[in-house]
Amino acid sequence: MPVYQFLGGRARDSVPLAWGIYQKSPDEMAQDAAAAIAAGFHAIKLKVGRRLAEDAAAVRAVSSAVGGDVPLRLDANMAWRSVPEAASAIRALAGEAQIAWIEQPLGRANLEGMRLLRLQAGVPIMADESLQTLRDAYDVARAEAADVFNVYVCEAGGMLAAAQIFAFAGALDIPCILGSQAELGIGTAAAAHLGVALPVLPYACETFGPLRYERDIVDPGPRIERGHLFVPERAGLGVELDEETLRRWRVDE
């Protein structure tokens, strides 16, 4: 029996996906973003936190390439050191494009700063590094430090632990997405099973890890097609280890 059956059954056929763009030149980032939207991905995430002029040029180029009706997700990865610095940068970037949210603008422990940014920046704030466990979710929510949660199955402690964070956040009307640390097929399969079983999944998720690799360690692995992650229908997680690939990439100490 597929794992999603033990998580409450299927609530949707697939998990809609966003695509993440690496930091490159503005033109290269624009080309990557346009290709992703043409391939069926539903939103674009790009890293910020370089010099503001570089970030603004990248945001402007990507927005122009994908169209103003595609909100951009900006991930700062804790790059800004103070509330005034972050607020100023966020307001400037919001002037270049439609911004869905800013992900983790400040250090993971700076929940008060995140709360102040929610009031000052005019753009929704997403918690990522600040949020790994259910206890973290409670702390972030109590501090009113985020509008959106980014939940990682692996960081949370597995599918059930991640589902608990979704349930907790849902009770507080805080939307969540499933995030990715560029997992290989096993982790992505786990995210797929949880993703199709969650009662509410309001935004495209970022569980596209296997697409970052030349070759996966499972065969067959989870299917990603036209911007959707499809859950394997076989027993368990529905993936099988590729022993040949494991031998090829094994590193002996």
Active site residues: 47
- Whether the CA torsion 217, 36, 44, 56 is positive or negative: it is positive
Contact by Cβ (8 Å): 229, 178: no
Q: Tell me how many degrees the CA angle 203-206-209 measures, rounded to the nearest 5.
A: 160
Q: Tell me how many degrees the CA angle 234-191-75 measures, rounded to the nearest 5.
A: 155
Residue with tokens 């990603």, as numbered in its chain:
224
Bridge pairing between strands 99-103 and 125-127? parallel
Q: Is 182 exposed, middle or buried (0-12, 13-18, 19+ CB in 10 A)?
A: middle
- Give the span between the Cα atoms of 46 and 167, in whole angstroms: 28
Quickly list H helices, 39-158. 52-66, 83-94, 111-120, 134-142, 153-156
Helix 52-66 vs helix 83-94: crossing angle, to nearest 10: 30
Task: State which amino acid sits at residue 21.
Answer: I
Using DSSP's 3-state secondary structure scheme, residue 81 falls into coil
Bridge pairing between strands 44-47 and 72-75? parallel
Using DSSP's 3-state secondary structure scheme, residue 150 falls into strand
